[in-house]
Structure 1
Amino acid sequence: MSEQSILYALEDGVAQITLNRPDRLNSFNTEMHLELRGALDRAAREARAVLLTGAGRGFCAGQDLSDRSVAASSAPPNLGESVETWYKPLVLQLKQLEMPVVCAVNGVAAGAGASLALACDIVLAARSASFIQAFCKIGLIPDTGGTWFLPRLVGDARALGLALTGDKLPAEKAEAWGMIWKCVDDAQLMDEARTLAKGFAAGPTRGFARTKQALRASWSNPLDDQLTIERDFMDELGRSHDYREGVAAFMEKRAPRFTGK
């Protein structure tokens, strides 16, 4: 895999995927889209957890605007096609990963970069990091799932405030609002994110997958249907090796050895 736009490393069951266009604040162009999709495909085959972060002083500044021509003399870009071709499939691919996905936001996350972070399962951010819904500054709406994630994470009032003003949201306030899991000191970000991801990789990954699936389903299910999902998943997981191993380890007062089976 090319290392120009995406770096990929596998260790202890964790696929660390690094957005690697630091000179452009890791903003998206076609090459980075293609390489990120390939990295996620690879992680799905060989990892038990994913850690997503950015190189340099930013996480991701969204779309690289220099990658498109918006001059009055040229035809207007088809942004709907761009979303359909690149951003929609990326978010769906990320959300369909059965393994836990940790995001370490090491700097500014703006536009599609902010939405990309929020599409992950667990988001840690450096204290110096910030989230900006920059779309309104250029007459657009939050994409990459932003209109879906924001109101569910922070409520309508705050989602509208962020989307309509484009104000910078510091990491500490993002944690206080429940938009991210945790804000940590800059120097501790990657160590804490790696420790968390390694813990997930060593955990009962089949149970993690069903937990993610059940929580996602709850947004559209009535209670009766959700209770049925819980019944079915508990029936499945109760027959798994990891459940027997977890109970045995608890009774024997030792660390469990989960396999995801």
Structure 2
Amino acid sequence: MLCEVSAGVAVVTLAAPQRRNALTVEMATELEAVFDEIDARQDVGAVVLRGSGGSFCAGADLGVLSGAAQDPLDDDAQRHIDALYGSFLRVGRCRAASIAAVRGPAVGAGLNLVLATDLRIVARDARLISGFGRIGVHPGGGHFTLLSRAAGRDAAAGVGLFGQEIDGERAAALGLAWQAVDDTDVEATALRTAARLGADPALSRRMTASFRREAGPPATSWDVGLEVERGPQMWSFRRRASTPTT
């Protein structure tokens, strides 16, 4: 796992290209630790999550899956699955806004990581695959919830239930991604998108917290949204008034 911070943006890289960044227990634990460090910093307003070697993440490592298959109720198997689930949640609960920069395949647990972020920039030829049903395994990690909150019930049914593979163009059309671009432009586009929030980490973190409370799941009503935004907006007014203009 690699993490580099520049101009208020942390770039977190899944760095196991030899297995197309498939998640091991150790890697999931590292991912949580990296995001703990990011949250502890006050100079990070946005995070870009990417994979190395032209792939995002090929899913859970086969060792994790085979261990769970042998004895799903074994304590170690439970801990290993908990570690994977915990990594999804940790990404989704990062105090800074997050963007997934997706090249190549994002399968199963890898797709969950993609959907745990706030925004997705994908290669036109990226491959987004649920993958669970293909190997005779029920989806996990809140897979259906992540899909449906991103793009609605039909997209969740098509991708998660019926196992339809989609490329980046289709993902953007469905609303699973913000933008589909050429493979070579994915990371640069993600960094440009993150730059504005990276320039003002304090405001970014407050906006991100309000966004998640209001957008859900579950989404709040409009009147509740007004109250969620009131305090942070008053804070930003006061801060703006006390900041010298140049």
Structure 1 and Structure 2 fold alike (TM over 0.5): yes
1:129–1:171 contact (8 Å) kept in structure 2: yes
Query: Counterparts in 2 of 1:83-102, with a 5 A limit?
Result: 85-102=82-99
2:155 alignment partner in structure 1:
158
Unaligned runs of 5+ in 1: 1-5, 255-261
- Structure 1 residue aligned with 2:145: 148
Residue in structure 2 matched with residue 127 of structure 1 by the alignment: 124
Find the residue that maps to 1:69 and give its secondary structure.
Answer: helix
Q: Does 2:30 align with 1:35?
A: yes
Report what 1:7 is aligned to: 2
- Shift, 1:220, TM fit: 5.2
Superposed CA offset, 1:38-60 (max 9, x none): 11111111222111000002100
Structure 2 stretches of 5 or more lacking a match? none
Which whole-Å CA distance do the structure 2 matches of 1:148 and 1:83 have between them?
A: 21
2:53 paired with 1:56 = yes
Q: Residues 120 and 218 (structure 1 numbering): CA distance in 2 closer, same or farther, change over 3 Å?
A: closer
Aligned-partner Cα distance in 2 for 1:218–1:111: 21
Residues 1:24 and 2:19 aligned together: yes
Paired amino acid for 1:219: P
Using the size of structure 1 for normalisation, the TM-score is 0.81
CA apart distance, 1:247: 10
SS in 1 for 2:23: coil
Percent of paired sites with the same residue: 29
Alignment partner for residue 177 of structure 2, among 173, 176, 180? 180
Question: Please, what is the CA RMSD of the aligned residues?
Answer: 2.7
What's the secondary structure of 1:209's corresponding residue?
helix
TM-score scaled by length of structure 2? 0.86
Structure 1 pair 86–100 and aligned structure 2 pair: CA distance change class (3 A): same
Aligned: 1:212 with 2:211: yes
Q: Which has the higher contact order (CA 8 A, sep 6+)?
A: 2
Q: Between Structure 1 and Structure 2, whose CA radius of gyration is higher?
A: 1
Q: Is the 8 A contact 1:119 1:145 kept in 2?
A: no
Distance, in Å, in 2 between the alignment partners of 1:189 and 1:246 is 38
Match for 2:183: what amino acid?
A: D
Q: Report the Cα offset of residue 13 of structure 1.
A: 1.3
In structure 2, relative to structure 1, the CA distance for the partners of 1:105 and 1:240 (3 Å cut) is same
